[in-house]
Structure 1
């Protein structure tokens, strides 16, 4: 007698579903994914979950240590600074501006860089040559130096800081996309698609992009990491957010004079930057390995 499922067809997974099934087996990458979810919630809800207003001064509670140390208070879990401002509230605001800015910059760079890089790779002649040499010239300058030059021209503010970081990192992403697509264009299956009459859009959509997901992930996470570090660096140097707003770099800069009296004021923002970079890189590495295993 035939069993009920004898003629059941096996469901074929899509490429994304197959990559996800591999990714779920990597415990460190899954933990990093949950860490990213938590960081995104903190970024979106920082103003609602902060126990105090970050800029509120309180002369009665100056340089309170974290509550688990002697002299700490549960009203200020991570303590206060030299003006009585709540450390946790300022740390949440700093995370919101630093991580939120880095994500916004990375998204803009991804869209603009992909469009420009793909257009340059698919074009020929003078236009492609001029763009390629222009990118080579821009890449001779360190990205942080370029960001500093731009921020001096634009003026010190948070929005100008984001714009300067975006413009300094965009050439790197464009160059990376250009090289990835250029390598794929020389492969036999792309030549066959072209001979079959495929348009540039179909080449990109069905031929090139599905095969450059792994290097694209690597380039994207590198750009995001550099964006976090550059936003923090410009904030540390005083070219980013201006008081009363703060981000993680400006938090460290404003507490350096107190490092011996209240080291936690420098330690907490530094640990937060480290956690952001670590979590996103572990997640990206898990995605990259899942893509590679899915291609085998």
Structure 2
């Protein structure tokens, strides 16, 4: 039977659908996305998948991983010098490190976007004071800022997250400020202003869609710095305390056993490497999809 398609209309994709259609052509980025989703699921459901509790001790000390001679299946990645399960502590370390980085990236992005956009759209004395204040804060390296704040608040996991977020916030505000400031002088923004568009409409329909690629790169940079700073503070002893486990703290607690049981240092280090690599590959693929979508 003949079917007449003469009056069928082509379906026009939304910008989000079009960007996804470009992104899914990149097999490496898709694989990175699925690994990132698995890591996020580990963060959310870590309490349900832990083989043991992080504080449980057994009599078998410094067991090697299961695939090495002397390893046992009950402790797939072995045990540490106190008989605690390495896999359990590694999963909790991923939860605290990755979960903390995702949380503070979300907080920094929301606060930074609000403050940066407000500063860019504000003129006069208030904008000038904020502009120079941010310039002064950016002189101090982010890790040094975090260490200073930790010294004020005291070492703990919560204070570590607060210190890292406060140290990264000026970077995000400044980047958003510069991106919006550059867009304000373009002709289509001037046309929207002449058309009577309010600042919210200006941001929603004029500015943010055109700085999306820059924002993806900025979020990736803030997230990567957050992972590294949380791990560094944990390694230095300014992060998690007592029985809390974080990847940097795991490396620090096992550094003396690097020659006798190198896997205790190797596994947390590999976890940090994989987290940063996977999210960088994913966001880079997303950034390229946004660029191609804007070009076409």
TM-score by length of 1: 0.98
Aligned residues: 295
User: How far apart, CA to CA, are the structure 2 residues paired with 1:105 and 1:164?
Assistant: 10
Q: CA deviation at 1:295?
A: 1.0
- Identify the residue that residue 16 of structure 1 maps to in structure 2: 16
Which segment is superposed worse, 49-58 or 215-224?
49-58
Instruction: Please give the alpha-carbon distance, in whole angstroms, between the structure 1 residues aligned to 2:6 and 2:105.
Output: 49
Say yes or no: does 1:218 pair with 2:209.
no
Distance across 1 between alignment mates of 2:66 and 2:192: 65
Counterpart-to-counterpart distance in 1, 2:5 and 2:267: 57
Three-state SS of the structure 1 residue aligned to 2:28 is helix
Corresponding position of 1:63: 62
Following the alignment from structure 1 to structure 2, what is the Cα–Cα distance between the partners of residues 16 and 179?
25
Q: CA RMSD in A?
A: 0.9
Q: What does residue 208 of structure 1 align with?
A: 207
1:4 to partner: Cα distance: 2.6
Match in the other structure for 2:194: 195
Q: Distance in 1 between matches of 2:247 and 2:28?
A: 26
Q: CA deviation at 1:2?
A: 7.5
Matches within 5 A, 1:170-249: 170-249=169-248
Hey, what's the Cα distance between the residues in 2 that align with 1:295 and 1:128? 31
Q: Give the corresponding residue for 1:48.
A: 48
Residue number in structure 2 paired with 1:287: 286
Residue 115, structure 1, aligned to residue 114, structure 2: yes
After superposing the two structures, state which structure 1 stretch, 245-254 or 40-49, moved more: 40-49
Q: Provide Cα deviations, 1:96-118, integer angstroms capped at 9, x if missing partner.
A: 00000000000000100000000
Equivalent runs, 1:136-151 vs 2, <5 Å: 136-151=135-150
The alpha-carbon distance between structure 1 residues 234 and 188, as it changes in their structure 2 partners (threshold 3 A), is same
Runs of 4 or more above 3 Å deviation: none
SS at match of 1:69: coil
Counterpart Cα distance in 1 of 2:3 and 2:259 = 75
Q: What CA distance in whole angstroms lies between the structure 2 residues aligned with 1:224 and 1:73?
A: 36
Task: Indicate the SS of the match to 1:190.
Answer: helix
SS in 1 for 2:10: coil
Structure 2 unaligned runs (5+)?
none
Residue in structure 2 matched with residue 38 of structure 1 by the alignment: 38
Alignment of 1:85-124 (within 5 A): 85-124=84-123
Structure 1 unaligned spans of 5+: none
